């Protein structure tokens, strides 16, 4: 698909583009009640029926698409044969290492979750090698399971909280894990099952944003900032339907944008960073809730407790959340003034707290965003859930196949 700007275009590139175009139509349509036919796709894309037929043949031959059994026909004329993504051919695997858990997730081509597992445990006490060995084993077991059912695994993507040189480069810095310059892909592929697969690495917040995009979250917007509140705060920036990773893959480090020039010192060496006002620890501190409870995605956590207290009307907690929201809103407003996105998604711990944080964010955004009077900025909670990052990791793998079926064909 889409030939790089500085490379010559060939007629083969046309076919790659159109193959992806047709597959995208099938993917969009297979979620709806009426699966698209070849003729529908021809009408929707502008290609002729002849071309669509030829392309669909290729996709069916590759096992990515299947013809559905004919359904109740209404109109005159030869009945259409519906097309849909095959759910039993290709899977994608996502992994995640975070401060206090490991996670694995498997999705099929349609995006349906086939397998999900979270293992709680503080990873800060482990070496990178140990943590990555463990998560690689989780992945290997999941892959074996997929293969046992006859599915091919298209690849593995791991989500990490920190500066990551996507998609292969090392992890430069993960302050909250205490990692620095770790060759993540090298360590993961010590596990033999992973060694033969394309393994990529990406930032946790970026993948959470992708999960939101793929799920049609963000109210269907294709230009949004997804803010993930965790121990740290990261943002995934989606512009015109594509994740913007930045020059080195380090975009979205919103947690270290300044709220006050002379604010409290931050782990990063500077001071007044957003993390000090709206990070998980800052919120707990301001709310007067002890931070001892595990913050895992699994059991009841400190965040749940905060949400409970806020729901019960606890004034100190509500004030803490409003304060965090104001700081977050200040920074988010700055981001929107710079990027002109139409939507801001609150993810991570902000999602369950959105009822109290959201209004403060929205108020600050409305007040500070220059374009708001003409195009209001929507502030909404994530629709994906707390495991957005692993899910996005797994989805990004199958999305790679959907975006470029041609190279999957030649690879497989």
Q: Of 239, 293, 294, 363, which one interacts with its own copies (CB under 8 A)?
A: 239
Kindly state the smallest distance separating residue 30's Cβ from DNA, in Å. 14
Q: Which of 38, 86, 114, 245 binds its own copies (CB under 8 A)?
A: 245
Please, which residue, 289 or 377, has the CB nearer to its own copies? 377
d(CA 217, CA 235): 15
CA angle (398, 400, 402) in 5-degree steps: 75
Cα 35 from Cα 25, distance rounded (Å): 10
Q: How many residues bind DNA (CB under 7 A)?
A: 33
Contacts with DNA, 51-90, as mask; x by CB under 7 A: x-xxxxx------------x--xxxxxxxxx---------
Q: Which of 50, 49, 42, 3 is nearest to 21 (CA)?
A: 42
Tell me how crowded residue 213 is: count the other CB atoms within 10 A of its CB. 26
Q: How far is 365 from 359, CA to CA, in rounded Å?
A: 10
233's CB contacts (< 8 A; 6+ apart) are 227, 254, 255, 274, 275, 278, 279, 328, 348
Between residues 67 and 366, which has the closer beta carbon with respect to DNA? 67
Interaction partner, residue 253 (its own copies, DNA, none; CB < 5-8 Å by kind) = its own copies
Binding mask 169-198 for its own copies (x = CB under 8 A): ---xx-------------------------
Interacting stretch for its own copies, rule CB under 8 A, among 149-157, 314-322, 369-377, 385-393? 369-377
**CB closer to its own copies out of 37 and 251:** 251
> What is the rounded CA–CA span in Å between residue 401 and residue 102?
25
Q: In 149-279, which residue ranges form alpha helices assigned H by DSSP?
A: 184-188, 192-195, 204-214, 275-278
- The least distance separating its own copies from the CB of residue 355, rounded to whole angstroms, comes to 23
Stretch that binds its own copies, among 4-12, 64-72, 108-116, 393-401 (CB under 8 A): 4-12
Query: What's the rounded Cα separation, in Å, for the pair 277 and 194?
Result: 40
Pick one of 83, 138, 237, 320: the residue that binds its own copies (CB under 8 A).
Answer: 237
Instruction: Give yes or no for residue 9 binding DNA (CB under 7 A).
Output: yes
Total count of residues recorded for the chain: 412
Give yes or no for residue 337 binding its own copies (CB under 8 A): yes
Query: Residues of 159-173 as b/e, b for ≥16 C-beta within 10 angstroms?
Result: bbbbbbbbbeebbbb
State which residue, 210 or 335, has the beta carbon closest to its own copies.
335
What DSSP state is assigned to residue 38? H
Q: With respect to DNA, which residue has the nearer C-beta, 31 or 49?
A: 49
**Residue pointed to by tokens 């002849």:** 50
Q: How many CB atoms lie within 10 A of CB 240?
A: 8
32 binds its own copies (CB under 8 A): no
Report how far Cα 119 is from the mean position of its chain's Cα atoms.
20
From 32-40, 141-149, 268-276, 348-356, span contacting DNA (CB under 7 A): 32-40
Contacts of 115 (CB under 8 A, 6+ apart): 104, 105, 106, 142, 145, 146
What's the closest the beta carbon of residue 407 comes to DNA, in angstroms?
13
Q: Which is nearer to its own copies, 139 or 334 (CB)?
A: 334
Residues 6+ apart with CB under 8 A from 182: 128, 132, 170, 171, 174
Give 36's DSSP letter: P
Q: How far is the CB of 215 from DNA (least distance, A)?
A: 29
The footprint of DNA on residues 84-123 (CB under 7 A) is none
Specify burial of residue 72 (Cβ count, 10 A radius: 0-12, 13-18, 19+).
Answer: exposed
* Binding string, residues 196-235; x marks residues near its own copies by CB under 8 A: ---------------------------x-----------x
Min dist CB 394 to DNA, Å, is 30
Cα 125-139-211 angle, rounded to 5 deg: 90
Q: How far is the CB of 32 from its own copies (least distance, A)?
A: 17
Count of residues touching its own copies (by CB under 8 A): 67
Report strand pairing: 90-98 vs 152-160: parallel
Binding status of residue 4 toward DNA by CB under 7 A? no
Chain residues that interact with DNA, rule: CB under 7 A: 8-12, 14-15, 18, 37-40, 46-51, 53-57, 70, 73-81
Chain residues that interact with its own copies, rule: CB under 8 A: 2-3, 5-11, 13-14, 17-18, 21, 24, 45-47, 51, 163, 172-173, 223, 235, 237, 239, 241, 244-254, 256-261, 268-270, 273, 326-327, 330-331, 333-335, 337-342, 367-368, 370-371, 374-375
């Amino acid at each position: 698909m889409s030939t790089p700007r500085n490379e010559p275009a060939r007629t083969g590139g046309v076919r790659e583009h159109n193959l992806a175009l047709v597959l995208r139509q099938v993917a969009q349509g297979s979620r709806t009640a009426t699966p698209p036919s070849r003729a529908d796709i021809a009408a929707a894309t502008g290609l002729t029926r002849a071309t669509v037929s030829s392309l669909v043949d290729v996709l069916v031959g590759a096992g990515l698409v299947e013809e559905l059994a004919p359904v109740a026909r209404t109109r005159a004329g030869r009945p259409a044969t519906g097309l849909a993504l095959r759910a039993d051919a290709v899977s994608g695997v996502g992994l995640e290492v975070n401060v206090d858990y490991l996670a694995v997730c498997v999705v099929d081509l349609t995006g349906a979750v086939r397998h999900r597992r979270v293992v709680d445990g503080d990873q800060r006490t482990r070496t990178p090698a140990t943590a990555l060995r463990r998560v690689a084993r989780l992945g290997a077991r999941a892959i074996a399971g997929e293969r046992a059912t006859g599915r091919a695994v298209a690849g593995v993507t791991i989500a990490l909280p920190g500066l990551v040189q996507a998609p292969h480069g090392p992890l430069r810095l993960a302050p909250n894990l205490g990692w620095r310059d770790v060759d993540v892909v090298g360590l993961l592929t010590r596990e033999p099952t992973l060694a033969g697969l394309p393994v990529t690495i990406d930032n946790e917040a970026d993948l959470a944003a992708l999960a939101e995009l793929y799920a049609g979250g963000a109210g269907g917007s294709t230009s949004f900032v997804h803010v993930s509140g965790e121990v740290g705060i990261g943002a995934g920036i989606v512009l015109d339907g594509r994740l913007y990773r930045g020059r080195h893959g380090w975009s979205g480090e919103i947690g270290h944008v300044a709220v006050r020039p002379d604010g409290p010192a931050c782990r990063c060496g500077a001071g007044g960073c957003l993390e000090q006002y709206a990070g998980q620890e800052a919120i707990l501190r301001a709310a007067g809730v002890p931070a001892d409870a595990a913050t895992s995605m699994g059991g009841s956590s400190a965040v749940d407790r905060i949400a409970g207290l806020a729901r019960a009307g606890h004034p100190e907690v509500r004030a803490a959340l409003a304060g965090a929201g104001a700081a977050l809103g200040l920074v988010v407003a700055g981001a929107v003034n710079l990027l002109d996105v139409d939507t801001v998604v609150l993810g991570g711990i902000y999602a369950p707290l959105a009822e109290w944080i959201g209004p403060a964010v929205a108020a600050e955004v409305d007040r500070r965003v220059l374009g708001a009077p003409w195009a209001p900025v929507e502030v909404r909670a994530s629709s994906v859930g707390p495991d957005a990052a692993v899910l996005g990791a797994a989805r990004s793998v199958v999305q790679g196949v959907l975006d470029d079926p041609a190279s999957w064909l030649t690879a497989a």
